[in-house]
């Protein structure tokens, strides 16, 4: 069984809207609903959870309750990784635990459903799989404003989501890292820290994370292009 975990418990501080950015609407649909619909439409996702900020549970539920694969809202934590951990612990308490979990940022509404499925196929083969975009710009490591070294860009990938993992292994990885979760910014880095193999699945550039206000201007263009 494959569960999606859609993390939507952030406050959207960098975006600066009056409400958390996952509830901002694009063409009359919230970002959260747009993202959730992609997992509802995936042929390999059996059920999904949405991780919500404790102050927005009702609004979160209202956005996703019509989806047949939606199971429950889980209360988030103080960081994205804490939120993921809360969802993993919810699943750990179930009698019928999932085999794989597919973790997605609610604020990446343009994810392609076929790419979701590709990440699941690859995770079933390798153990973990991350949708990622190969760097097309020259990349450098910088310290105090000075270039330390230029990196081989064919070996540099920008991590997107979803990131899909063997559930038992990911839970163990989170348990191993639970005192240092703030050292990580995504699930793959926690999985790799535990020594597990992780593959990349080439993703489309338009699977952007809506982080700042200007990303919503770009989102309007992507939405128009996709329409």
Ligand X SMILES: Nc1ccn([C@@H]2O[C@H](COP(=O)(O)OP(=O)(O)OP(=O)(O)O)[C@@H](O)[C@H]2O)c(=O)n1
Ligand Y SMILES: C[C@](O)(CO)[C@H](O)COP(=O)(O)O
- The residues, ordered by sequence, that sit 6+ positions from 216 with a Cβ below 8 Å of its Cβ are 15, 21, 24, 26, 210
Residue 199 CB neighbour total at 10 angstroms: 16
Q: Which has the closest alpha carbon to 100: 220, 187, 225, 13?
A: 187
Query: Could you tell me the CA-to-CA distances from 69 to 39, 40, 43, 181 in Å, in that order?
Result: 8, 6, 11, 29
CA proximity to 5, closest of 50, 58, 38: 50
CA distances from 9 to 44, 82, 110, 165, 179 (A): 24, 10, 19, 21, 20
Rounded to whole angstroms, the Cα distance separating 36 from 57 reads 15
Q: Give strand pairing partners of 36.
A: none
Which does residue 186 bind out of ligand X, ligand Y, none, counting CB within 5 to 8 angstroms by kind? ligand Y
What, of ligand X, ligand Y, none, does residue 8 touch, CB below 5 to 8 Å by kind?
Answer: ligand X
Interface region with ligand X, contact rule CB under 6 A, candidates 70-78, 89-97, 111-119, 142-150: 70-78
**Contact at 8 Å (CB) between 52 and 74?**
yes
Q: How far is the CB of 107 from ligand X (least distance, A)?
A: 4
One of 4, 49, 51, 111 touching ligand X (CB under 6 A): 51
Min. distance of Cβ 108 from ligand Y in angstroms? 7
CA–centroid distance for 71 within its chain: 18
Task: Name the closest residue to ligand X (Cβ).
Answer: 10
Binder to ligand X among 23, 33, 47, 77 (CB under 6 A)?
77
For ligand Y, the closer CB: 1 or 199: 199
Closer residue to ligand Y, CB minimum distance, 124 or 212: 212
H-helix segments, the chain: 31-40, 57-64, 80-92, 113-126, 167-176, 187-193, 213-226
Chain position whose Cβ is nearest to ligand Y: 186
Could you say which residues in the range 155-194 bind ligand Y, by CB under 6 A?
A: 159, 161, 185-186
Task: Please report, as residue ranges, which positions from 25 to 84 form the binding site for ligand Y (by CB under 6 A).
Answer: 80
> What is the per-residue binding string for ligand X in 104-123, x denoting contact by CB under 6 A?
-xxx----------------
Number of residues that bind ligand X (CB under 6 A): 23
The minimum distance between CB 56 and ligand X, in angstroms, equals 10
Q: Interface residues with ligand X (CB under 6 A)?
A: 7-15, 20, 22, 51, 76-80, 83, 105-107, 209, 211
Q: Interface residues with ligand Y (CB under 6 A)?
A: 80, 105, 159, 161, 185-186, 209
């Amino acid at each position: 069984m494959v569960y999606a975990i859609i993390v939507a418990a952030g406050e959207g501080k960098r975006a600066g809207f009056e409400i958390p950015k996952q509830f901002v609407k694009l063409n009359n649909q919230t970002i959260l609903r747009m993202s959730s619909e992609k997992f509802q439409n995936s042929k390999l996702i059996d059920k999904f959870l949405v991780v919500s900020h404790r102050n927005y549970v009702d609004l979160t539920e209202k956005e996703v309750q019509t989806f047949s694969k939606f199971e429950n809202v889980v209360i988030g934590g103080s960081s994205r990784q804490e939120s993921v951990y809360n969802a993993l612990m919810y699943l750990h308490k179930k009698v019928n635990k999932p085999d794989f979990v597919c973790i997605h940022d609610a604020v990446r509404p343009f994810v392609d459903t076929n790419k979701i499925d590709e990440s699941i196929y690859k995770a079933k083969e390798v153990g973990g799989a991350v949708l990622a975009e190969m760097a097309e710009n020259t990349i450098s490591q910088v310290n105090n404003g000075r270039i330390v070294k230029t990196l081989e860009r064919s070996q540099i990938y920008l991590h997107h989501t979803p990131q899909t993992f063997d559930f038992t292994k990911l839970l163990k990885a989170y348990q191993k890292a639970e005192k240092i979760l703030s050292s990580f910014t995504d699930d793959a880095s926690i999985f790799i820290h535990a020594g597990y193999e992780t593959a990349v699945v080439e993703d489309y550039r338009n699977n952007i994370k809506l982080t700042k206000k200007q990303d919503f201007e770009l989102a309007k263009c992507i939405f128009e292009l996709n329409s």
